[in-house]
Structure 1
Amino acid sequence: MTGEDPEMTVLLVLASASPARLETLRRAGVHPEVVVSGVDEPAAVAEATGRYGALEPADVALLLARAKAEEVGRRRTEAGDAPALVLGCDSVLELDGEAYGKPADAADAVARWQRMRGRSGVLHTGHWLLDDRAESDGGGGATLGATASTTVHFAAVGDAEIEAYVATGEPLAVAGAFTVDGLGGPFVTGIEGDHHNVVGISLPLLRELLGEVGVGWFDVAAG
């Protein structure tokens, strides 16, 4: 496919409720359909841990990304929706070998920041792509994924700043209790790796995954 003919574009379905992921894709020229997954994340991690033992933080992110993509893929198939590429994503922050998603509450967010300040963590984002297109449309039933990891350096913020930031509510809605593109930006002193990955989706990695299923970047568009 060349991406020049509108009839040849491929529908991408984003299995995520994250407005930051959606906006990142839109700014890169991709306008996906959004279908939020109903995955019980703690249950999915608990089940995998019980079956395979303790998971590395990067594996947690990939596990949840796959679970989201597969759950949305099943629902779309059952509903008879148009064939598409389904992308699931999930992010966790690794600090001292532990995986941290969204804080449970404000107190948890404050404690998290008191531990993070002046230090560095690794933000892992799992990406899982399902191809449910017919073979005649270039599909092949592929299911594949990978994790992008970016090192994040945090400022040595004081308790008053932490309390004020948590009071905005933003840290409660994001993995790792911080953003680099929002109110948390002043508290991130630097990153090593893909900036977009910290926002929630690695555009270079997504491009590679699309290539694995024979789809070019400019072949992807909303239906």
Structure 2
Amino acid sequence: MTAPTPRPAPVLVLGSASPARLATLRSAGVEPVVVVSGVDESQVGDLAPVDVAGALAGLKAAAVVGRPEVPAAALVLGCDSVLELDGRALGKPSGAPEAVERWRAMRGRTGVLHSGHSLHDTATGRVAEATVSTTVHFADVSDAEIEAYVATGEPLHVAGAFTIDGLGGAFVSGIEGDHHNVVGLSLPRLRLLVAELGHSWTGLWGPAPG
């Protein structure tokens, strides 16, 4: 009996413009094809923050599947992150004034960063999804520190108006959960989603550098 031909390793397509998510994948040995979804993040209705992250991740992946630039037999990943504070879902601030207001509300307190993951196998049509939540403790920063941080522009482009892998890292006093999830993509959970669809995480690794 002839042994079945193993399926070739799929290409991972990242349906996100986030440089942090791209850098996270690259540091883990995965070189994805980037196809930005262009989904309007305001279209999700009145949902709990954890459900907002999951719903937007699904919409972003679905918007990329079927695009002509997506390679055949690809795994398309949609992600979205929101910070939950006082029961509200906080995405990217609308501008500097809102970012300052956010930080004055967050300092010295604890929030929960939810990152939704939606992985579509274009060869089979199967979908694996999960939302991962990480508790974030914010330092009791001063007004001057908030103003200086917002002036850099960094918090204007990220969910919750903060980063843990950039200038904002000094203003996060601790986390409970997956560090990568706060960056916007949980590598451990993504490995499980890849396996759920019948693929090997290590099969996504690119050639060794050099």
TM-score normalised to structure 2 length:
0.92
- Matched residue type, 1:75: R
| 1:136 matched residue in structure 2 | none
1:105 aligns with 2:95: yes
Unmatched segments (≥5 aa) in structure 1: 1-6, 134-139
Cα displacement string for residues 147-168 of structure 1 (whole angstroms, at most 9, x for unaligned residues): 0000000000111110000000
| 2:4 matched residue in structure 1 | none
Q: CA deviation at 1:205?
A: 0.5
Cα displacement string for residues 26-60 of structure 1 (whole angstroms, at most 9, x for unaligned residues): 00001110000111111x21xxx2xxxx3110100
Aligned pair in 2 of structure 1 residues 39, 62: CA closer, same or farther (>3 Å)? same
- Matched residue type, 1:156: D
Number of aligned residue pairs: give it.
201
Q: CA deviation at 1:74?
A: 3.0
Higher RCO (CA-CA < 8 Å; seq separation 6+): 1
Among 141, 147, 171, the residue aligned to 1:187: 171
Cα displacement string for residues 56-114 of structure 1 (whole angstroms, at most 9, x for unaligned residues): 101000111000000000324xx684220100000000001100000000000000000
User: Structure 1 or 2: larger helix share?
Assistant: 1
Provide the alpha-carbon RMSD of the alignment: 1.6
- Matched residue type, 2:89: A
TM-score normalised to structure 1 length:
0.87
| 1:75 matched residue in structure 2 | 67
- Matched residue type, 1:93: L
CA distance in 2, matches of 1:93, 1:16: 18
Q: CA deviation at 1:144?
A: 2.3
| 1:93 matched residue in structure 2 | 83
Name the SS for the 2:13 alignment partner. Answer: strand
| 1:37 matched residue in structure 2 | 37
Whether the 8 Å contact between 2:35 and 2:70 is mirrored in structure 1 is no
Whether the 8 Å contact between 2:82 and 2:160 is mirrored in structure 1 is yes
